[in-house]
Amino acid sequence: MVKLRSAVAGLGLAALLAGTAALHVNASAQGVSVESGKRKVRLKVEPEYPDLARQLNFRGKVRIEATVAADGHVISTKVLGGNPLLANASVAALEKWRFEPAAAESVEDFDFVFGAR
């Protein structure tokens, strides 16, 4: 009975976290590709594929808008779409990125793709 409850709870959690990501049985290890905007990236930190997402074989794309300061660090981020579980990992990584300096701050859009291999 306890195993059944755990299984049902796990499936409920999977459905809740699925969001816009698809649940695929054949999902592979993290394959992250990023499409950057106009500013050149000096330091790129790859997001960590969350353990729960890996266990549930989540694949998905996360789109994030980032405001980059003139000196090249990320001031703020806004998730434009994607699974919340994958989005948190993407935001955490993007906040560590550094860009080439510019005359003024800029707003850039980035796509992180998980499980693309």
Domains of the chain and any CATH numbers: 2-114 (3.30.2420.10)
Q: Which of 54, 52, 53, 34 is nearest to 96 (CA)?
A: 34
Q: How far apart are CA 18 and CA 33, in angstroms?
A: 20
d(CA 18, CA 39): 32
Tens of pLDDT along 17-74? 444 333 232 233 344 455 555 889 999 999 999 999 889 888 899 999 999 999 999 9
Neighbours of 49 (CB within 10 A): 19
First-to-last alpha carbon distance for the chain, in angstroms, is 37
pTM, full prediction: 0.68
Query: Which residue's structure tokens are 């499409």?
Result: 35
